[in-house]
Amino acid sequence: MKQVRPGGAWFGRVGAGWHRLVGLAWFGNPVNQHQPGPTWPHPAEPVEFAEVSKRIAAVQAPIIPILGEWIRHSPGTISLGQGMVAYGPPPEALAAVPRFLAEPGAHRYGPVEGLPSLVEALAHKLTTENHLDLSRSRVVVSAGGNLAFMNAVLAVADPGDEVILQAPYYFNHEMAVVMAGCRPVVVPTDARYQLQVDAIAAAITPRTRAVVTISPNNPSGAVYPEADLRAVNALCGARGVWHIHDEVYEYFTYGLPHFSPASIPGADAYTISLFSLSKAYGFASWRIGYMTIPESLWMAVNKIQDTLLICPPHVSQAAALGALGAGRAYCDGHISALASVRRHVLARLEAIGDIAEAPSADGALYCLLRVQTPLDSMTLAQRLIREHKVATVPGTAFGLPARRSLGGGGTDGTYLRVSYGALAAETVDEGMERLVRGIRALA
């Protein structure tokens, strides 16, 4: 029988010669350097390449780079846009870096789920602070909270499945859901940006794979009561869907307690919890987040993270271990100072209380303004930058309408997110003066 090479007749005529050439070179045998290689015919007409993936084309453009471009064209603008803290990591984190670099294996790959020493330290934090029982769960270190969320979505959902988000949602969550080929189902919160459990229940269908909640909330600053989070978690357990809960801003609460749904007995079987060092420890550029997952999801998350990341950067993990050594006391000192900035921001907003409000801003780093204006949110944000030198994030990025209308021809307002964590207190004060003046002029 005639032997057929892989690739068929083309491989037999051209590919075999190429295979010999490459094979000889790989195995160190002499190669005739003057032997011509295969030639490819040039097309008579220019080739039209396929467009970008339709799946990726459907993903909304990230808003922060757009704001950055607007700001570059308006020098002197104060940005109340990006969600970061003004302070950096604790000294213990920075001191850990040179010690790590002196280790012989510093530049090698490591475990997909993170260095054992860091995983152990995070497990201790989760059991003592969040009251989680990790006996049937895994702690996985990731390159930031966004990757942890992507891990979760890819692990539990297939293309065409549905993931329920609360509006306003965190834009990177919605982007990840669409990127995974899933359908975001958006359930509105109430007028104070609180959960509507009955509406979530009504939105669950046979294609629903997960319900996502964020508390303290980005972008609204709302903190969800324990009773509401328990109700959503119980709903997920009863309906057989995953509860993905984002706790990145867990330390940033102002007079209200934080609650972790995975601490509910039995909830660990279907609850995925997301955390990060980016905010509380000033670790934004170090890209260290972590997640707790049921043991049943470990092999799936292992495949995903091994493909997307291989392992979290060792140097960042070493710094994270140092930060955890400093502990929550380091974070609480900075957050106490931030609470003072928050009070000043809310007091400033009272001056325009007749045309703007920011309900439920009891946590995180944000106020979500609802402004009475005929302008849509993108136009309002752009004009605030261009005309008043202050930047905010338009509400459309968070799944809110450009300008929500009410019955009878009225309007519920235009939405803007204000972040007060990334700047020094005096700069925030100047930015708020510009914002108040600008909203009053444009409303």
- The Cα 343–Cα 351 span in angstroms is 13
Three-class SS of the chain: CCCCCCCHHHHHHHHHHHHHHHHHHHCCCCCCCCCCCCCCCCCCCCCCCCCCCHHHHCCCCCHHHHHHHHHHCCCCCEECCCCCCCCCCCHHHHHHHHHHHCCCCCCCCCCCCCCHHHHHHHHHHHHHCCCCCCCCEEEEEECCHHHHHHHHHHHHCCCCCEEEEEECCCHHHHHHHHHCCCEEEEEECCCCCCCCHHHHHHHCCCCEEEEEEECCCCCCCCCCCHHHHHHHHHHHHHHCCEEEEECCCCCCECCCCCCCHHHCCCHHHCEEEEEECCCCCCCHHHCCEEEEEEHHHHHHHHHHHHHHCCCCCHHHHHHHHHHHHHCHHHHHHHHHHHHHHHHHHHHHHHCCCCCEECCCCCECCEEEEEECCCCCHHHHHHHHHHHHCEECEEHHHHCCCCCEECHHHCEEEEEEEEECCCCCHHHHHHHHHHHHHHHHHHC
CA separation for the pair 343, 193 (Å, rounded): 19
Binned average pLDDT, 10 residues per bin, the chain of 443 residues:
36 36 39 62 73 90 92 96 94 96 92 97 98 97 97 98 97 97 97 96 98 98 98 98 98 96 98 97 97 98 97 97 96 95 94 90 95 94 97 95 52 87 94 96 91
Angle, nearest 10°, between helix axes 377-388 and 425-442?
A: 120
What integer pLDDT is reported at residue 3 of this predicted model? 37
Question: How many whole angstroms from its chain centre is CA 363?
Answer: 17
Domains of the chain (ranges; CATH) run 61-87+329-442 (3.90.1150.10), 91-328 (3.40.640.10)
| 162-167 and 208-214 beta bridge pairing | parallel
10 Å CB burial of residue 411 (0-12, 13-18, 19+) is middle
Q: What is the tens place of the pLDDT at every residue in 32-77?
A: 455 666 777 777 777 777 788 989 999 999 999 999 999 999 999 9
Per-residue model confidence (pLDDT) at position 443? 86
Q: What was the pLDDT predicted at 39?
A: 72
Task: Retrieve residue 148's tokens.
Answer: 């942890």
Tokens of 225: 């009561």
Question: From the CB of residue 437, how many other CB atoms can be counted at a distance below 10 Å?
Answer: 15
Handedness of CA 121, 124, 125, 130 (dihedral sign): positive
What residue type is assigned to position 96 of the chain?
A
Per-residue model confidence as pLDDT tens digits over 316-347? 999 999 999 999 999 999 999 999 999 999 99
